[in-house]
């Protein structure tokens, strides 16, 4: 950029033929259809000011920059954007406005505009406020005026919020589209009941109290031919007139307006309008919804992802909708399912895929990956025709899926989720009961690299790049072969490992380190697909008294199966083997503590 390209704004005072662009703005479109409106008045005043500076070489640009009906709170205005483009293209020397707030009411936006003006040697002139940014005094005046302009805008916003809050606390309707069941009179004012729609609202509350299921309510309303309100905007667009969805039903059931209330800032106030349902009915429905709601904790979303590892991966091939996690209660038991989103919205008739047992579905997906890891022939077939005689690809794929082997149940849930989402990009469920697992090549490459890094024996060589996507088909399971959903699984809990299993794994960890197959516990963690903390926990079990370890491995299952891994770790923390045995004897059933069973 040359010096001429970036001339100081002060040099404009010395130029001849100074090109002046007039910018005008009006916040509302009211009155713009008049022959002489506010924009014309602003432009006339600016033209008169420029004419007074004709001796300095000031001339008016023919291009008009008028923004009618646009707020000054942001810079998203068509005429302003056109002005900025012309400034960038060096077509403007001075921008003339009637008042500073016509250009912007935002201090941040104004600072950015002035920075752009200075970068291109353009000055700003206000007709009524008598300043010019080409001078230092003008820039000082601008900053002062701009600060007051932003203060005024924020003050207006605060007053508007306070006014609306006061109106809501008095139970007034402060604007917006009235909810179904109500209408606004032509002149505005309080809500009035629409008799036809009010019947629909009462029907929704009555059905929900009977069925206690939003999906069943939607299905029944569909059978009765009930539809949403149809309305037309001022621009001619038509909304509504469609069957109700679960979202529509939920909005009706949770809107306190129907009970004659107005909600503001988390509180309910008596409204001026007439109620459609009684407060008792509204409260009864709220209690039913609360009883059906299974996750109200702040970390409910993260908890859902951990307990439903296929959330976000599972899709329905019939309607190409996601299968979303949900729960159902029966007494004190809670059952976990994946349900098609279209059913959630439109009812069960919208998709042939109803709901899938979460534990059964997740087990089928993991079992498919386990079988893949244990079957070299299936690995080769999965890679064809991409394999093309390259056994290294088969080996890389086998390394990647080896994490789904026998140690999978020992991995913490969050680590299982990470590994599963690396390996699988999508799981398509077919109405026949079959699955298609779409494996991610990039994710499998990362898993293979992690497994290789955990094995310190020899050089692993350059990593092989697996294909971008591999499809693994899982056949449908016959009805007689469907695994039962256990009580523990229905509560979203993984099956617990036996004491013998965790003790064997603890010795396996010790063996890997002592034999040099893994240089430390971090390498063991990578090799077994466990977290570093989990490896440390398991390794503590090696310090159990030999007599206790013998009894665990000897198969005293009836007694040992009742002892948790946490309890075993607590016992192993005792430095005295005699003390460990004392605690151990108090935990076993009486028939196992007889002298014949003592070591």
How far apart (Å, rounded) are the C-alpha atoms in residues 447 and 424? Answer: 11
Q: Which tokens sit at 532?
A: 């570093």
Residue 217, Cα to own-chain centre: how many angstroms? Answer: 27
Q: Which tokens sit at 101?
A: 């707030």
The 10 Å Cβ neighbour count of residue 580 is 20
The 10 Å Cβ neighbour count of residue 431 is 14
Q: Residue 31: left if φ>0, alpha if ψ -120 to 50, beta else—which one?
A: left
Half-sphere exposure for 296 (CA within 13 Å, toward CB): 5
Residue 364, classified by CB atoms within 10 Å of its CB into exposed (0-12), middle (13-18) or buried (19+), is: buried
Q: How many angstroms separate the first and last alpha carbons of the chain?
A: 91
Position 559 scores a pLDDT of 55
Q: Residue 458: left if φ>0, alpha if ψ -120 to 50, beta else—which one?
A: left
How far apart (Å, rounded) are the C-alpha atoms in residues 184 and 172? Answer: 12
Q: Are 401 and 466 in contact (CB under 8 A)?
A: no
Q: Give the length of the chain.
A: 599
Bond preceding residue 385 cis, omega within 30 of 0: yes
Cα–Cα distances in angstroms (integers) from residue 339 to residues 255, 321, 347, 492, in the given order: 26, 10, 11, 16
How far apart (Å, rounded) are the C-alpha atoms in residues 46 and 65? Answer: 12
How far apart (Å, rounded) are the C-alpha atoms in residues 115 and 102? Answer: 17
Position 406 scores a pLDDT of 67
According to DSSP, the β-strands at 267-270 and 261-264 are antiparallel
Buried b (16+ CB within 10 A) or exposed e, 374-396: eeeeebeebbeeebeeeeebbbb
Position 529 scores a pLDDT of 66
Position 385 scores a pLDDT of 54
How far apart (Å, rounded) are the C-alpha atoms in residues 516 and 520? Answer: 9
Position 22 scores a pLDDT of 96
Position 479 scores a pLDDT of 44
How far apart (Å, rounded) are the C-alpha atoms in residues 234 and 396? Answer: 62
Position 332 scores a pLDDT of 64
Position 329 scores a pLDDT of 67
How far apart (Å, rounded) are the C-alpha atoms in residues 353 and 431? Answer: 6
Question: Which of 115, 23, 20 is closest to 64 using CA atoms?
Answer: 23
Residue 380, Cα to own-chain centre: how many angstroms? Answer: 38
Sheet containing strand 333-340, strands side by side: 323-330, 333-340, 355-357
Position 15 scores a pLDDT of 54
| pTM for this predicted structure | 0.46
Consecutive H or E run containing 315: strand 314-316
- Over its length of 599 residues, how does the chain's per-residue pLDDT go in tens digits? 433 444 554 454 455 689 999 999 998 888 888 888 889 999 999 999 999 989 889 999 999 999 998 988 888 899 999 999 999 999 999 999 998 888 887 777 877 888 898 899 998 888 887 666 667 777 777 677 667 767 777 788 788 788 778 877 877 777 777 888 888 887 767 888 888 888 888 999 999 998 888 888 888 888 888 888 777 766 777 777 788 888 888 889 988 888 888 887 778 888 888 889 898 999 998 888 887 765 433 344 444 444 688 888 888 887 778 888 877 766 667 778 888 877 766 766 777 777 788 888 888 888 888 888 777 777 777 776 555 546 677 787 777 787 787 677 766 667 778 888 888 888 888 888 888 888 888 888 888 888 777 654 444 544 567 777 788 888 776 443 444 444 334 344 444 567 777 787 888 888 887 877 777 777 777 777 666 777 777 888 888 888 888 877 765 545 565 677 778 888 888 878 888 888 888 876 544 444 444 43
Residue 42, classified by CB atoms within 10 Å of its CB into exposed (0-12), middle (13-18) or buried (19+), is: buried
Position 149 scores a pLDDT of 67
């Amino acid at each position: 950029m040359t010096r001429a390209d970036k001339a100081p704004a002060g040099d404009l005072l010395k130029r001849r033929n100074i090109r002046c662009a007039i910018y005008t703005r009006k916040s509302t479109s009211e009155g713009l259809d008049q022959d002489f409106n506010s924009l014309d008045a602003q432009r006339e005043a600016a033209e008169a000011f420029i004419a007074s500076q004709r001796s300095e070489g000031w001339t008016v640009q023919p291009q008009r920059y008028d923004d009618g009906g646009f707020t000054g709170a942001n810079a998203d205005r068509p005429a302003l954007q056109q002005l900025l483009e012309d400034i960038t293209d060096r077509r403007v020397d001075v921008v003339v406005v009637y008042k500073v707030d016509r250009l912007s009411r935002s201090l941040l936006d104004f600072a950015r505009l002035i920075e752009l003006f200075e970068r291109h040697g353009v000055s700003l002139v206000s007709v009524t406020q008598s300043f010019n940014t080409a001078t230092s005094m003008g820039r000082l005046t601008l900053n002062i005026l701009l600060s007051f302009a932003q203060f005024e805008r924020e003050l207006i916003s605060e007053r508007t919020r306070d006014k609306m809050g006061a109106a809501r606390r008095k139970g007034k309707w402060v604007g917006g589209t009235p909810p179904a069941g109500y209408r606004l009179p032509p002149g505005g004012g309080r809500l009035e009941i629409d008799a036809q729609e009010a019947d629909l609202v009462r029907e929704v509350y009555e059905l929900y109290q009977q069925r206690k299921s939003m999906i069943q309510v939607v299905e029944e309303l569909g059978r009765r031919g009930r539809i949403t309100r149809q309305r037309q905007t001022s621009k001619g667009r038509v909304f509504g007139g469609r069957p109700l969805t679960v979202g529509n039903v939920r909005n009706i059931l949770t809107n306190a307006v129907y009970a004659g209330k107005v909600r503001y800032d988390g509180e309910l106030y008596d409204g001026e309008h007439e109620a459609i349902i009684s407060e008792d009915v509204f409260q009864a429905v709220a209690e039913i919804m609360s009883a059906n709601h299974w996750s109200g904790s702040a970390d409910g979303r993260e908890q859902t992802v951990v307990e439903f590892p296929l959330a976000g991966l599972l899709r329905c091939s019939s309607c190409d909708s996601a299968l979303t996690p949900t729960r159902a209660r029966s007494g004190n038991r809670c059952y976990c399912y994946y349900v098609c989103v279209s059913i959630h919205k439109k009812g069960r008739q919208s998709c042939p895929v109803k709901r899938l047992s979460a534990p059964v579905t997740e087990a089928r997906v993991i079992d498919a990956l386990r079988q893949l890891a244990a079957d070299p022939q299936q690995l080769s077939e999965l890679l064809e025709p991409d394999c093309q005689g390259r056994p290294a690809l088969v080996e890389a794929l086998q390394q990647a899926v080896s994490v789904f082997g026998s140690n999978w149940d020992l991995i913490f849930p969050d680590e299982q989720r990470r590994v599963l989402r690396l390996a699988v990009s999508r799981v398509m469920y077919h109405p026949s009961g079959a699955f298609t697992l779409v494996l991610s090549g990039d994710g499998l490459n990362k898993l293979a690299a992690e497994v290789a890094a955990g094995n310190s024996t020899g050089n692993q060589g350059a990593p092989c790049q697996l294909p971008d996507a591999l499809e693994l088909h899982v056949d449908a399971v016959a009805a007689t072969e469907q695994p039962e959903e256990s009580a523990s699984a229905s509560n979203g809990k993984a099956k617990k490992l036996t004491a013998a299993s965790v003790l064997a794994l603890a010795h396996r960890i010790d063996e890997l380190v002592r034999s040099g197959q893994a240089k430390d516990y971090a390498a063991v963690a990578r090799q077994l697909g466990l977290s570093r903390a989990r490896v440390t926990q398991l390794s503590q079990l090696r310090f159990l008294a030999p007599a206790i370890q013998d009894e665990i491995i000897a198969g005293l299952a009836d007694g040992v199966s009742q002892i948790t891994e946490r309890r075993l770790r607590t016992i192993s923390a005792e430095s005295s083997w005699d003390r460990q045995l004392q605690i151990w004897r108090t935990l076993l059933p009486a028939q196992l503590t007889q002298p014949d069973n003592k070591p």
